[in-house]
């Protein structure tokens, strides 16, 4: 499942990079919890939790039904 998550994150990455940020996959656990680290401008952005839940998590769940949730690894 980790490779699937990486492939989906690669689809999301250009949108984040357009705003000066990025996302790094930290871990995918056995329960389907994906841990990511927001980088660049995304790391300190007040909207980062919304990006994480409404953007990254929603997109990952659409593409990979086994994903239970996405959490920040910070």
In the chain, where the domains are located? 2-72
21 has pLDDT over 80: yes
What is 2-72's CATH topology? GMP Synthetase; Chain A, domain 3 (3.30.300)
- The confidence score (pLDDT) of residue 43 equals 86
Tell me the C-alpha distance between 39 and 27, whole Å.
15
Give residue 12's Cα distance to chain centre. 8
Read off the pLDDT band of 44 (50, 70, 90): confident
Instruction: Cite the beta strand spans of 1-74 per DSSP E.
Output: 21-28, 33-40, 69-72
């Amino acid at each position: 499942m980790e490779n699937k998550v990486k492939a989906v994150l690669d689809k999301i990455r250009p949108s984040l990079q357009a705003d000066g940020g990025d996302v790094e996959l930290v871990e995918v656990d056995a329960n389907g919890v994906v841990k990511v680290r927001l980088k660049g401008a995304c790391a300190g952005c007040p909207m980062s939790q919304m990006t994480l839940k409404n953007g990254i998590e929603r997109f990952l769940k659409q593409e990979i039904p086994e994903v239970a949730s996405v959490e920040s690894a910070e």
